[in-house]
């Protein structure tokens, strides 16, 4: 498993739920002094019923017997993805859909996307690659969620919403029907978006107003 540390718990749960088995947890811990957050993560991993191997990706070798999943939190993980492809030839990852998630008729979930517990992907919606739909998020019918986007818990996309690449929708935010959100935009927690959002901006409030320009 590769991924962003704050998504580790969710990814772990998704793997267990899908009947998968972690043979080991590989923690990419480069040699420089690790941050307190990383040490706390290592401590948490150490208490799992799996061997934990701390590696420096610089010296790591993939095992052809193993398959890998990757948990993303937007494009900040792109360098890791590029490194895995160019150095190790790992360019395909598992797609994980929780057994308590609902994928409705005609919906498409692309490779390496993750759909967490109690999320709903409505009819004919498309979820792009490396998208993370977090707990309880709802994607309406005919929505298009661009690659690398992240939907925080309990966020709602009404019908026909289009998210470009690398969009972050904060917890509990609602995007009204037929809205387009530009690449790299961030929608703050609890926001109600009533108009299209320009690329790279951060919007917040009810109704949403631009709070930060690119
Ligand atoms: C959108 C977000 C990323 C912006 O963060 P930021 O760039 O650090 O912005 P700031 O905190 O400096 O806020 C900028 C302005 O927006 C306002 N704002 C931020 N979040 C807001 C919110 N949820 N609702 C209303 N206003 C908000 C701030 O009060 C500030 O206003 P001001 O300039 O008048 O003081 C962040 O607010 C957010 O909502 N993140 C999502 C959190 C989340 O859902 N996480 C789930 C993880 S699973």
pLDDT tens-place string over residues 41-90: 777 777 776 666 666 777 778 877 777 777 666 777 788 788 888 888 88
Ligand 1 centroid, distance to 181 Cα (angstroms): 17
For ligand 1, whether the C-beta of 172 sits within 6 Å is no
- Find out whether the beta carbon of 133 lies less than 6 Å from any atom of ligand 1: no
Exposed e or buried b for every residue in 163-192, given b needs 16+ CB within 10 A? Answer: bbbbbbbbbbbbbbeebbbbbbbbbbeebb
Q: How far is the CA of 211 from the centre of ligand 1 (A)?
A: 8
Specify the residue with its C-alpha closest to ligand 1, atom 15.
Answer: 211
Using CA atoms, how far apart are residues 110 and 207, in angstroms rounded to an integer? 31
Q: What is the mean pLDDT of residues 20-43?
A: 66
- pTM greater than the 0.85 cutoff: yes
- Distance (Å) from CA 122 to ligand 1 centroid: 28
Active site residue ranges? 141
Quote the tokens at residue 4.
Answer: 């962003």
* Burial category of 159 from C-beta neighbours within 10 Å (exposed 0-12, middle 13-18, buried 19 and up): middle
């Amino acid at each position: 498993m590769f991924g962003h540390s704050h998504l580790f718990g969710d990814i772990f749960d998704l793997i267990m739920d899908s009947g998968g088995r972690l043979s080991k947890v590989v923690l990419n811990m480069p040699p420089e002094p690790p941050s307190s957050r990383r040490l706390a993560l290592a401590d948490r991993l150490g208490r799992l019923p799996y061997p934990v191997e701390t590696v420096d990706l610089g010296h790591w070798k993939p095992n052809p017997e193993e398959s890998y999943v990757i948990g993303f939190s937007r494009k900040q993980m792109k360098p890791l993805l590029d490194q895995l492809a160019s150095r190790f030839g790992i360019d395909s990852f598992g797609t994980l859909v929780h057994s308590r998630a609902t994928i409705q008729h005609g919906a498409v979930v692309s490779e390496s996307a993750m759909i967490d517990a109690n999320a709903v992907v409505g009819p004919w919606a498309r979820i792009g690659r490396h998208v993370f739909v977090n707990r309880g998020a709802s994607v309406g019918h005919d929505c298009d969620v661009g690659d690398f986007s992240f939907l925080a818990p309990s966020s709602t996309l009404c019908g026909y919403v289009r998210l470009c690449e690398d969009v972050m929708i904060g917890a509990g935010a609602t995007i009204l029907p037929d809205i387009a959100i530009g690449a790299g935009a961030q929608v703050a927690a609890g926001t109600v978006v009533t108009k299209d959002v320009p690329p790279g901006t951060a919007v917040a409030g009810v109704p949403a107003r631009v709070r930060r320009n690119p």
